[in-house]
Structure 1
Amino acid sequence: MHVTAADGWRLPAGPVRRWTLRPAAVGEPVVLSVNQRNHLAGVVAGQPSVWLAADLPAGSVPGIEAPTDLLDGLLARHAALRTAVAPGDGTGAVLHAPDGLVWVEDDVVRAGTSSDATSAVRDLLDRACHPLAPGPPVAAALVGAGAAARFVLAGDHLVLDAWSVALLASELGTPRALPAAPAFPALAARWAAEPALPPDDARLHAWLAFLDGLDQALPTFPLDLGTAPGERFPQRTLVVPFLDAATVAALDDLGRPEGASAYAAVLLALGRAVRAQRDEPAATALPLLVPVGTRRTEEERATVGWCTTTVPLVVAATDDLRATGERLRAALALGSVPLDQVLGSLPRPLRRTRADVFMVSWIDYRRLPTVPAGTNHVSNVTEADDVQLWLSRTDAGVAVRARIPDHPPAVAVVTALLERWVAEVALLLR
């Protein structure tokens, strides 16, 4: 899996066929998760939304000659793809039955260049994969012809996460009948019904202590990006190889006796790289958020939907690898804390100094459903005022996708940090 973004996406020239999903019957009301509710609230307030797409070689998709038949099979299996925002104020959702939806094909676009083809698909996804679209925010496209042809399946973040993108690509590339997967709306309803944690629960107190240390604010990137408070820029995406397979294997070997993962080692190196770049080198703490999955059972691994939460972590540049591994394990254990309860337990409202939040994500694609060779995970580009880092591990090593403001000082700072980060990994292995 190659993780990239729309500003670096290149599709082949040729015919572009495009499909959107429209309701043919009324859906039934369903519960939204906290992520979905917050996402919708931002969109209703005027914030841009984000779509995610699986882009794979059309030749790796059995039955590609009848794309809507393939898509109907995915609709029947995955309830998230049949979920739409209910008409009204954008706070409710409905679930459509598989036979209550139809695929509508646009006019074919004859794209003479790669740029034209990519623009035609991005236009489709910007329009159709939006929470307030008239139907489930899902769309598909078949681009190009012959061996170069690509098949794209996309949805708004309301109904997909990174695991979902890999899962859908895997199922498209697997010629076998699959049973119905656990429905994401049912998972969201179950999460909503779970009892709150006791007020003295140590996990809740860990979250509250983290936010208290930031004066009730979410973490922000600690280096100067050259941006003023409230100033947002178009998003710039940096996608770079980070560590080769041999280096990551060496981190595995280094961390194993210390009870630490390669991810912990990479985070420790990041903390030390940031310390080296800071104007205040004595500041050694690096607060950040870490996205983690909420698929708890083997069955739920087959669920499409937004099955993630975030946990707080403070990386200390002065720690050793064992201590960093302990910090990371303690942070991951907070994935069971309801975020609604965290916010409801604050002594005063949460402060947002930036629209974005500083986070570092790690996805080991070797543990996710296997995707066809040449598959891309593509995310939309919107606006940015902070730094978000995605680390993706495959058999080839680890790559970084950095989402940053498209502002020369920000690009220079993050580019320099990425170089120092690699150097700090090398120092760990000396």
Structure 2
Amino acid sequence: MDITYVDLLDLDAPVEEFRLHSASDLAERPEIVPTFNHRNHLNALFTQGRSTWLGIALNVPGARDLPSAELGQVFSDLLSSHDALRWAVFPADSSSFSSPFFSSSTPPFSVHCLHPSDLSVEALPAESPADLTALISHACSPISSPGAFFGRSGDTVLVSFDHFHVDMISMDLLARELYVALRGEELASEKENTPSYSTVLEQRAEVEDHTWSEQLADEVWGEFFAETSGTVPGFPVDLGAHGTTHPAAFVVTTLLSAEQMNSKVDAQPFPELLTAVARVLGRRVPMLIPMHTRGKNGSAAHSTVGWLVGNAPVVAEPEESPDTAKMWLRRAVAGQGLSIEKVLAHYQAEFPSATIFSASFVDFTKRGGAVPGASYISSRGPVDSVQMWFSRTETGIQLRMCYPDTHFTREFMPEFVDSLRAELAGRR
């Protein structure tokens, strides 16, 4: 699955939105205890007043000819199949939320899981929105209704959810479901009898209460914070942001084509990628990486849709062999059961940057291969640091990266990407 932005999609027709409606009086539905990720996310949503959403664009030949009622039913089936997609945030009292986004402080709220019968999807007349990203962002507010956008532009089907509901792997799972529903062709099968998201969270909470180990925390996080002087570090080059966020510039590019792939990157892509970044920058590079917590192939939660991601620290060294990055990645796996909430409280970590400098990697070749015609998209807000998404498909290694749009980065980032591409190509 390509990782890109809405700006780069080739949409050749007006957008037909399928608006999600929720029944009234829903706060009596089962209450959910939000995780640390969810609470942090909602704090940011209320403060910043905009959705952080993830989505997919799936090009399906002939989708433009599918009756709206049939396509709407496909969207409804997605909601019915996954409880995480039916969560919604409700105010503690009816006056707490004055708009889809509350932009001063976090009001008292509760989270409830709605029943499929509470939700309906209505096809609206197709139009050409002045700003498709803004349209998606508005629809993806999870306040009083699940945060979802469903749409169609010609043969391209668009599905997006607020991050409150999903992570990147969730969108890959949903892309596979959509493809099967719209094409009638089977892809690589996912595990049957997948537990619901709520069940997974309940099981994790029971285990997490007994997995805190100060020794393990010191080995994983203590050494990291000792290296960073107790901070969650930003990008190790002054980007000229001057302590404020800027509109995000971005790059989407192929770093290595399948024909250029070499044995070193092929054998251990993520350690090689992180180490290549360190070599290009000429320094040790501490950063955070998202850790998907679904477990290995065959684990019960491997195909559960929901936000199942933690964070882990990694340090890459500008060395010939990626030994340092490999060591830190092994530590990350060992420490993935540690509560990030307890970690931050224990070490009193400081956040000097508004944006966490991070790098992620998804190998779609190990997830049943690419979904034909699928692209991963997401929102893009102001930033003051760098976020990198590395991915591997049958066509090679790709990079999507966003960073603050400053005078410095306009010159530095193209050179950085070119150097990174050359560095990887030379790994023979």
TM-score band w.r.t. shorter chain: 0.7 to 0.9
Question: Alpha-carbon deviation of 1:327?
Answer: 3.1
**Partner of residue 50, structure 1:** 52
Question: Map of 1:123-138 to 2, 5 A cutoff?
Answer: 123-132=134-143, 134-138=144-148
Amino acid in structure 1 at the alignment position of 2:389: W
**Partner of residue 41, structure 1:** 43
**Partner of residue 103, structure 2:** none
The 1:6–1:90 alpha-carbon spacing in structure 2 relative to 1, beyond 3 Å, is farther
The 1:369–1:138 alpha-carbon spacing in structure 2 relative to 1, beyond 3 Å, is farther
The 1:131–1:235 alpha-carbon spacing in structure 2 relative to 1, beyond 3 Å, is farther
Q: Name the SS for the 1:332 alignment partner.
A: helix
**Partner of residue 222, structure 2:** 208
Cα contact 1:291–1:309 (8 A) shared by 2: yes
Distance 1:428 1:372 in 2: 29
Q: Name the SS for the 1:104 alignment partner.
A: strand
Distance 1:140 1:371 in 2: 22
Question: Alpha-carbon deviation of 1:164?
Answer: 1.0
* TM-score (norm: length of structure 2): 0.86
Residues 244-287 of structure 1, C-alpha deviations (whole Å, 9 max, x = no match): 1133342256x5xxxxx122112111110011xxxxxxxx3210
Distance 1:28 1:64 in 2: 35
**Partner of residue 313, structure 2:** 312
Question: Alpha-carbon deviation of 1:29?
Answer: 0.5
Cα contact 1:52–1:155 (8 A) shared by 2: yes
Q: 2:71 aligns with which of 67, 72, 80?
A: 67
Question: Alpha-carbon deviation of 1:408?
Answer: 2.8
Gaps of 5+ in 1: 256-260, 276-283
Question: Map of 1:330-369 to 2, 5 A cutoff?
Answer: 330-346=331-347, 349-369=348-368
The 1:331–1:47 alpha-carbon spacing in structure 2 relative to 1, beyond 3 Å, is farther
Q: Name the SS for the 1:378 alignment partner.
A: strand
Q: 2:248 aligns with which of 212, 220, 235?
A: 235
Cα contact 1:53–1:153 (8 A) shared by 2: yes
**Partner of residue 278, structure 1:** none
Question: Alpha-carbon deviation of 1:375?
Answer: 1.1
Distance 1:24 1:215 in 2: 50
Q: Name the SS for the 1:81 alignment partner.
A: helix
Distance 1:205 1:47 in 2: 38
Distance 2:117 2:272 in 1: 49
Distance 1:266 1:370 in 2: 21
**Partner of residue 326, structure 1:** 327
Distance 2:225 2:403 in 1: 23
The alignment status of 1:110 with 2:117, answered yes or no, reads no
Question: Alpha-carbon deviation of 1:24?
Answer: 4.6
Question: Alpha-carbon deviation of 1:395?
Answer: 0.4
Cα contact 2:55–2:158 (8 A) shared by 1: yes
Question: Map of 1:268-307 to 2, 5 A cutoff?
Answer: 268-275=275-282, 284-296=283-295, 297-307=298-308
**Partner of residue 102, structure 2:** none
The 1:126–1:93 alpha-carbon spacing in structure 2 relative to 1, beyond 3 Å, is same
Cα contact 2:211–2:337 (8 A) shared by 1: no
Residues 95-122 of structure 1, C-alpha deviations (whole Å, 9 max, x = no match): 001112122333x1333xxxx4xx4643
CA RMSD of aligned residues (A): 2.5
Distance 2:114 2:427 in 1: 52
**Partner of residue 4, structure 2:** 4
The 1:303–1:103 alpha-carbon spacing in structure 2 relative to 1, beyond 3 Å, is same
Amino acid in structure 1 at the alignment position of 2:178: L
Cα contact 2:286–2:313 (8 A) shared by 1: yes
The 1:195–1:35 alpha-carbon spacing in structure 2 relative to 1, beyond 3 Å, is same
Amino acid in structure 2 at the alignment position of 1:396: T
Q: Name the SS for the 2:254 alignment partner.
A: strand
Cα contact 1:16–1:141 (8 A) shared by 2: yes
Q: How many residues align?
A: 400
Distance 1:189 1:289 in 2: 26
Question: Alpha-carbon deviation of 1:11?
Answer: 1.8
**Partner of residue 406, structure 2:** 407
The 1:47–1:122 alpha-carbon spacing in structure 2 relative to 1, beyond 3 Å, is closer
Residues 63-112 of structure 1, C-alpha deviations (whole Å, 9 max, x = no match): 94311211222122100110111223254311001112122333x1333x
Q: Name the SS for the 1:142 alignment partner.
A: strand
Residues 294-342 of structure 1, C-alpha deviations (whole Å, 9 max, x = no match): 1125331221111111110111113623444233222332222110110
Amino acid in structure 2 at the alignment position of 1:190: Q
Question: Alpha-carbon deviation of 1:359?
Answer: 0.7
Distance 1:61 1:174 in 2: 13
Distance 2:369 2:112 in 1: 31
**Partner of residue 264, structure 1:** 271
The 1:64–1:155 alpha-carbon spacing in structure 2 relative to 1, beyond 3 Å, is farther
Distance 2:62 2:83 in 1: 24
Distance 1:374 1:395 in 2: 13
Amino acid in structure 2 at the alignment position of 1:130: S
Distance 1:252 1:428 in 2: 7
Amino acid in structure 2 at the alignment position of 1:217: T
Question: Alpha-carbon deviation of 1:60?
Answer: 7.2
The 1:226–1:5 alpha-carbon spacing in structure 2 relative to 1, beyond 3 Å, is same
The 1:161–1:345 alpha-carbon spacing in structure 2 relative to 1, beyond 3 Å, is same
Residues 19-72 of structure 1, C-alpha deviations (whole Å, 9 max, x = no match): 224235522211212211111111222364311111112437699431121122
Cα contact 1:62–1:172 (8 A) shared by 2: no
Amino acid in structure 2 at the alignment position of 1:49: S
Distance 1:122 1:322 in 2: 41
The 1:274–1:90 alpha-carbon spacing in structure 2 relative to 1, beyond 3 Å, is farther
Distance 1:10 1:123 in 2: 17
Distance 1:371 1:141 in 2: 22
Amino acid in structure 1 at the alignment position of 2:7: D
The 1:163–1:63 alpha-carbon spacing in structure 2 relative to 1, beyond 3 Å, is farther
Q: 1:83 aligns with which of 74, 77, 87?
A: 87
Distance 1:412 1:125 in 2: 31
**Partner of residue 188, structure 1:** 201
Residues 404-427 of structure 1, C-alpha deviations (whole Å, 9 max, x = no match): 112231232222111111222234
Distance 2:230 2:201 in 1: 27
Amino acid in structure 1 at the alignment position of 2:225: L
